[in-house]
Amino acid sequence: MDINELMNLTKSNVTIFDSVVKANSVINNPKYKSIVCSVSGGSDSDILLDICTKLDTEKKINYVYFETGLEYAATRKHIEELENKYGITIKRERAKKAIPQCCKQYGQPFISKQVSEWISRLQKHNFDWVKDGNKSFEDLLVLYPKCKAALRWWCNAWDNRSNGSISSYNINYNRYLKQFMIKNPPSFRISNSCCKYAKKEVAKKVIKSLKADLNIIGVRKYEGGARATAYKNCFSSNSDTADQYRLIFWYKNEDKSDYESLFDVVHSKCYTEYGLQRTGCAGCPYGRNMEEELRVLEEYEPNLYKAVNIIFGDTYEYTRKYKEFVEKKLLEDK
């Protein structure tokens, strides 16, 4: 399928049409000699891959799948299906440190990457949640002088957004979390290191080893989360590493549906059989629908279900306790 045919097929949807035109100009730009495209086996990634394989006439793209140590069997199978469908090789890259090892060595993730980072810093400085939890930022800075950023989070000392909404850099962005932690200090280590060693560090290594000058990823603005809100557009130029191109950045869910219908994109059994809305590291505590994902795991991949409950058991329990605390507080505040 050449670019003119592709443009003609997508002209009914402006977002898709624009993304194809832009992607063609970026992928086939002579300045890019070696391109890396991250493939996850998720629904966004499936669309990203379909576009890239249609446009990469010079076969400059290296497709990479990052093995974190907590993959759905359905996702691993889907990666093989994608290779057969498109006649490509998707290189498997193992984690620098698999997620189970990271959680054991550094701590377990809780709520979000950012929250986990702040809590981890406080824990490293032996923060006393009960004794010092209600003290002012100024007083805490005297007690913990090398933990300023995390203390600002704890004391809601970061500037809120220009539109008046609460900054995600403040603890009160997560309702009642501060009150909860003062009453229920974490008895286990919390950390976001699993993301760092399972994906980020490996991605850097791959880009360096392939001497890649462009990195294509499947982040969408409308999926939300820290990754999406970190960017304002679909492209970032980098002088010291590969440029980054977020090909489907502007796709809304309806655009995804249109593309899937246009080009018969079939997703993994995680979507078509398990009923999941999103995939990633299996059982990740960051997931908004943690309990539903655990139910799915127990039904369809019971061995993996047992594994994640061992790896993330503490944070599952702590998260449930926090949600119960929030529900109780909401009732009290009515």
Task: List pLDDT tens digits, range 188-202.
Answer: 999 999 989 998 999
In percent, the amount of the chain with pLDDT more than 90 equals 83
Check whether 261 has a pLDDT greater than 60: yes
pLDDT range class, residue 72, cuts 50, 70, 90: very high
Rounded to whole angstroms, the Cα distance separating 202 from 196 reads 8
pLDDT at 228 over 60: no
What's the full length of the chain, in residues? 334
**Token code pair at residue 159:** 């500037």
Q: Measuring CA to CA, how many Å separate 101 from each of 201, 205, 316?
A: 15, 19, 17
Measured between alpha carbons, how far is 118 from 56 in angstroms, rounded to an integer? 41
pLDDT digits (tens, 9 = 90+) for 25-61: 999 999 999 999 999 999 999 999 999 999 999 999 9
Summarize pLDDT for 264-320 with one digit per residue, the tens.
Answer: 999 999 999 999 988 888 999 998 889 999 999 999 999 999 999 999 999 999 999
pLDDT above 60: residue 171: yes
> Can you name the CATH fold of 3-101+193-267?
Rossmann fold (3.40.50)
| Mean pLDDT, residues 131-157 taken together | 96
Average pLDDT over residues 2-9: 88
DSSP string, 19-64: HHHHHHHHHT-TT---EEEE--SSHHHHHHHHHHHHH-TT--EEEE
Q: Is 230 helix (H, G, I), strand (E, B) or coil?
A: coil
Query: How many of the other CB atoms lie within 10 Å of CB of 310?
Result: 9
pLDDT on residue 333:
83
Kindly report, as residue ranges, where domains of CATH 3.40.50.620 are found in the chain. 3-101+193-267
Residue 227 has what pLDDT? 55
Single out the residue of 40, 42, 38 nearest to residue 269, CA to CA: 42
- Chain mean pLDDT for the chain: 93
